[in-house]
Amino acid sequence: MKLKEQILPADLAQQIGARLILKTNLNVTGINEIHMVEHGDITFVDHPKYYKKALESKASFIIINSEVECPDDKALFISDDPFRDYVMLCKKYRPFESLHQNISPSATIGEGTLIMPGAIVGNHVSIGKNCVIHPNVTIYDHTQIGNHVIIHAGTVIGADAFYYKKRPDAYDKMYSCGRVVIGDDVEIGASCCIDRGVSGDTQIGQGTKMDNQVHIGHDTVVGKHCLFAAQVGIAGVVTIEDEVILWGQVGVQKDLTIGKGAVILGQSGIMSSLEGGKTYFGSPVRDHREKLRELALLKKLPEVFDKLK
């Protein structure tokens, strides 16, 4: 997320009680997770495995738990607990706001848009023109919705990312300060859940349609004109390119890409990136034709065993 006002690095160091090593003239202009960082952003890293990625990222400011050398044009904040400090900053600069009525006075709602009874529209939400938000939908703070969008009853847009840090005796919650951004002409079925980004945006591209009970994790980016059938589950940080079709109950693991126009048959499980333009089936998923051949051979397995005896 971008900050409303810049922060001086020295002020920020004081806020989190960290030692500052400064090799940049910039001020802090954004707070972002390592996947989402841009020039001017602050991020955090707390595992040696990811030090290199963080130090070579676009982030200008890094909270880190080691006295590594500070790259040029960056600043380091040396901290005993970068995760704790990062969460503290997120909470400070995008504080959780309560809601005292069904539609927040800070929400913007376009002409011709219908908000049905029981729907909840959070703080700083923006909804475009000619949308229908059906009953008992919940739209969390900061969500952005385009024009001609339909959201069916009971759907939840913008709940927190499922993201925790394992401590010796507990899971510590990451504070989600990102958003959900929904393009024009999107239709979302009933009882779907689309989580907000951790610091960036979960995005649903223009013209994409989804059936009921679909789950989409944090920071996932869905392209244009995709079709997701009922009960599809997509983890976080997934990229789904344009015109992808996922049939019912398909599951998609985190941090992978499904190429343009891929078609995934029902109940398949996707564990790694898939090339576009092809049809897939199975859990774990394979090329559709290969999988069918395998299933045909499986039926002949009793024969094989008989022959071997």
Contacts (CB under 8 A) with a copy of itself, residues 153-192: 153-156, 159-160, 162, 164, 169-171, 173, 185, 187, 189-191
Applying the rule CB under 8 A, the residues between 189 and 248 that interact with a copy of itself are: 189-191, 193, 195, 207, 209, 211-213, 215, 217, 225, 227, 229-231, 233, 235, 248
Residue 201 to residues 127, 217, 219, 290, 296, Cα–Cα distance (Å) = 16, 11, 6, 37, 43
Pseudo-torsion of CA 167, 172, 178, 183, nearest 10°? Answer: 90
Applying the rule CB under 8 A, the residues between 42 and 71 that interact with a copy of itself are: none
* Shortest spacing between CB 16 and a copy of itself, in angstroms: 23
Query: Coil, strand or helix: which one is 35?
Result: helix
Residue 3 touches a copy of itself, criterion: CB under 8 A: no
Please choose, out of 9-17, 86-94, 105-113, 290-298, the segment that lies near a copy of itself by the rule CB under 8 A: 290-298
Which member of 100, 148, 218, 288 is catalytic? 218
Query: Coil, strand or helix: which one is 175?
Result: coil
**218 flagged as catalytic:** yes
Can you state the percent helix, strand and coil of the chain, rounding each to 5? 15, 30, 55
- Residue (62 or 90) nearer to a copy of itself, CB: 90
Residue 113 touches a copy of itself, criterion: CB under 8 A: no
Q: What is the CA radius of gyration of the chain?
A: 23
Q: For residues 249 and 262, what is the distance between their CA atoms, to the nearest angstrom? A: 16
Contacts of 44 (CB under 8 A, 6+ apart): 34, 54, 62, 63, 64, 82, 83, 85, 86
Residue 116 touches a copy of itself, criterion: CB under 8 A: yes
Please choose, out of 5-13, 80-88, 105-113, 132-140, the segment that lies near a copy of itself by the rule CB under 8 A: 132-140
- Residue (15 or 136) nearer to a copy of itself, CB: 136
Residue 25 touches a copy of itself, criterion: CB under 8 A: no
Residue 277 touches a copy of itself, criterion: CB under 8 A: no
Residue 266 touches a copy of itself, criterion: CB under 8 A: yes
Residue 191 to residues 154, 173, 174, 215, 230, Cα–Cα distance (Å) = 5, 24, 25, 9, 10
Q: Where in the sequence numbering do the catalytic residues fall?
A: 218
